């Protein structure tokens, strides 16, 4: 079996067991195959150039970590990655802030990753690159003579051509993507959007007789959908066992028999938090009989502090939650509990299990694993109801059981909450069963193995200098 090399922007702490999600699957795959996990250490070298690559062996896994300078973080991470690609891929062209300096820094850091990874690569290694921070990395490796099979997985959405082609450097990034052998997306819609970008940009053509296969003048590559899953069995076990935790029991007692509605999201403008809160407010206005009988707990850890858009969002969410509690709250009832801190997966699993409604209404999301976690945590005999945005990737798998909503339409959200709180138990069980089957069938390990099997069975590529990236 070939070794596996995983490259991601961030790497989990080698000294701690992975907490969940992608880290669990990557850790398991690397332990089984042996290999390297490379990425940013999370540390800054300040004004100095990054020091040498730090390596650490843990079992079968060699962790390879590099620091980045303050300039790198400003241009590569905060600049091109998070002020351009993140909003663009979530259809927020109005929030993109492109600068040539940031693009130069983005390419420079990808070149740094490639130069530090190159000496670690053995001839039969399979390389798996993750997410939008590292789009040019494969092309940089190809220029260094790496002919290994290289896969790429995009964890966030890929936008339609009319959106992506507004980016000044779209052609450069699309051509860099063709350096991979297998390009994976969360949904068929994302894969189709990418294919349309290739076609409209004149970068590559499809092989009509082989769907998903594309070619440039000198090489070919495959594009497909690989919807990511969770460790459903472990999450379900945590939900069942942690529910007996003393803190969780006290929280349950504080609800005083009220129905719990749960929302869990990082503080980000893609999550639709103001619309969700306003939708809950509208539900309460339209259904006064439910006053005092439901509590909405929104858990929203802060992210990217110091960024103007996120600070403005924080103020808006604070104001909406405060308005709801101020106008509808009573001495014995607070409609919205809004918490700005993170909780462990074990605690979240127990809270999901207690909640009769899961509100997962992002404006746009690659997958949204909260939706799958909520399903995995439920009691099959008395499950809750998932209210899910139709613009989350999870809607493609869970749409048969969830109540799908337009996250921009607060009336639709309000109506869905009304349906959920009054849904008969038998209907809830039927809807849950359909979703639970999908979550179990495609867990994170199946996702990882399916992707790597396809990548491993592709023929080794040849170096293609068409992928060359300008050195500006």
Q: Is 153 a member of any domain?
A: yes
Question: What would the mean pLDDT of 358-369 be, rounded to a whole number?
Answer: 97
133 flagged as catalytic? no
pLDDT of residue 244: 84
Q: Is 340 a member of any domain?
A: yes
Same domain for 176 and 198? Answer: yes
How far is Cα 175 from Cα 340, in angstroms, rounded to an integer?
A: 41
Residue 439 CA: distances (Å) to CA of 188, 332, 344, 370, 372: 18, 38, 21, 12, 6
pLDDT digits (tens, 9 = 90+) for 88-139: 999 999 999 999 999 999 999 999 999 999 999 999 999 999 999 999 999 9
Q: Is pLDDT of 334 > 80?
A: yes
237 flagged as catalytic? no
Asked whether the beta carbons of 299 and 339 are under 8 A apart, the reply is yes
Same domain for 305 and 393? Answer: yes
Parent domain of 100: 4-229+446-457
Same domain for 406 and 289? Answer: yes
Same domain for 134 and 22? Answer: yes
Same domain for 218 and 256? Answer: no
Same domain for 316 and 433? Answer: yes
Q: Is 11 a member of any domain?
A: yes
Average pLDDT, the chain: 94
Same domain for 220 and 332? Answer: no
Would the pTM count as exceeding 0.85? yes
pLDDT of residue 406: 98
Cα distance between the two ends of the chain: 39
**Token digits for 189?**
């819609």
pLDDT band of residue 1 (cuts 50, 70, 90) is confident
pLDDT digits (tens, 9 = 90+) for 423-469: 999 999 999 999 999 999 999 999 999 999 999 988 554 444 444 45
pLDDT of residue 22: 76
Residue 347: give its domain's CATH number: 3.40.50.2000
Same domain for 167 and 302? Answer: no
* Cα 343 → chain centroid: 18
Same domain for 269 and 395? Answer: yes
Same domain for 73 and 92? Answer: yes
Of residues 125, 131, 365, 415, which has the active-site annotation?
A: 365
pLDDT band of residue 472 (cuts 50, 70, 90) is very low
pLDDT digits (tens, 9 = 90+) for 216-270: 988 899 999 999 999 999 999 999 999 888 889 999 999 989 999 999 999 999 9
pLDDT of residue 218: 80
pLDDT of residue 461: 47
pLDDT band of residue 19 (cuts 50, 70, 90) is low
Q: Is pLDDT of 40 > 50?
A: yes
Q: Are β-strands 220-225 and 213-215 bridged in parallel, bridged antiparallel, or unpaired?
A: antiparallel
Q: Is 8 a member of any domain?
A: yes
Q: Is 464 a member of any domain?
A: no
pLDDT band of residue 21 (cuts 50, 70, 90) is low
Question: What would the mean pLDDT of 380-388 be, rounded to a whole number?
Answer: 98
Q: Is 266 a member of any domain?
A: yes
How far is Cα 14 from Cα 373, in angstroms, rounded to an integer?
A: 25
Q: Is 466 a member of any domain?
A: no
Q: Is 463 a member of any domain?
A: no
* Number of domains the chain is built from: 2
Residue 464: count of CB within 10 angstroms of its CB: 20
pLDDT of residue 464: 47
How far is Cα 383 from Cα 403, in angstroms, rounded to an integer?
A: 14
pLDDT band of residue 303 (cuts 50, 70, 90) is confident
Percent of the chain at pLDDT exceeding 70: 96
Q: Is pLDDT of 384 > 90?
A: yes
Same domain for 291 and 406? Answer: yes
All residues at 6 or more sequence positions from 288 whose CB lies less than 8 Å from its CB, including other chains: none
Same domain for 222 and 240? Answer: no
Of residues 13, 155, 189, 323, which has the active-site annotation?
A: 155
């Amino acid at each position: 079996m070939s070794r596996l090399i995983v490259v991601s922007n961030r790497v989990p702490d080698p000294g701690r067991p992975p907490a969940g999600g992608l880290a669990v699957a990557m850790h398991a795959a690397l332990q089984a195959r042996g290999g390297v996990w490379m990425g940013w250490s999370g540390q800054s070298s300040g004004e100095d150039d990054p020091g040498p690559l730090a390596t650490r062996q843990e079992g079968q896994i060699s962790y390879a970590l590099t620091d980045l300078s303050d300039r790198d973080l400003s241009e590569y991470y905060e600049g091109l990655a998070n002020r351009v690609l993140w909003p663009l891929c979530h259809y927020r062209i109005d929030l993109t802030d492109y600068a040539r300096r940031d693009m130069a820094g983005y390419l420079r850091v990808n070149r740094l990753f490639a130069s530090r990874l190159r000496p670690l690569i053995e001839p039969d290694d399979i390389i798996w690159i993750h997410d939008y921070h590292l789009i040019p990395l494969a092309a940089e490796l190809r220029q260094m003579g790496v002919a290994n099979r290289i896969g790429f997985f995009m964890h966030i959405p890929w936008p339609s051509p009319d959106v992506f082609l507004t980016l000044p450097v779209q052609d450069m990034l699309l051509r860099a993507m063709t350096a991979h052998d297998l390009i994976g997306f969360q949904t068929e819609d994302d894969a189709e959007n990418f294919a349309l970008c290739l076609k409209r940009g004149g970068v590559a053509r499809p092989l009509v007789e082989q769907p998903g296969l594309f070619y440039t003048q000198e090489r070919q590559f495959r594009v497909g959908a690989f919807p990511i899953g969770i460790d459903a069995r472990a999450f379900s076990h945590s939900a069942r066992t942690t529910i007996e935790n003393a803190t969780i029991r006290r929280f349950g007692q504080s609800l005083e028999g009220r129905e719990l509605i749960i929302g869990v999201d990082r503080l980000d403008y893609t999550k639709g938090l103001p619309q969700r809160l306003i939708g809950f407010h509208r539900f309460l206005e339209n259904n006064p009989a439910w006053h005092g009988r439901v509590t909405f707990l929104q858990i929203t850890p802060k992210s990217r502090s110091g960024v103007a858009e996120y600070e403005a969002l924080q103020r808006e969410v604070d104001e909406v939650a405060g308005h709801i509690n101020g106008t509808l709250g009573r001495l014995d009832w607070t409609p919205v509990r809004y918490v700005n801190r993170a909780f462990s997966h074990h605690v979240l699993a127990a809270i999901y299990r207690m909640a009769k409604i899961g509100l997962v209404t992002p404006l746009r999301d690659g997958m949204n694993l909260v939706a799958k976690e909520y399903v995995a945590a439920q009691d099959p005999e008395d499950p809750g109801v998932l209210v899910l945005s139709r613009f989350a990737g999870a809607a493609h798998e869970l749409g048969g059981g969830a109540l799908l909503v337009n996250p921009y339409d607060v009336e639709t959200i309000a109506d869905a909450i009304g349906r959920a709180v009054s849904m008969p138990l038998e209907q809830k069980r039927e809807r849950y069963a359909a979703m639970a089957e999908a979550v179990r069938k495609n867990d994170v390990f199946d996702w990882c193995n399916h992707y790597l099997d396809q990548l491993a069975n592709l023929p080794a590529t040849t170096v293609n200098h068409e992928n060359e990236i300008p050195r500006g």
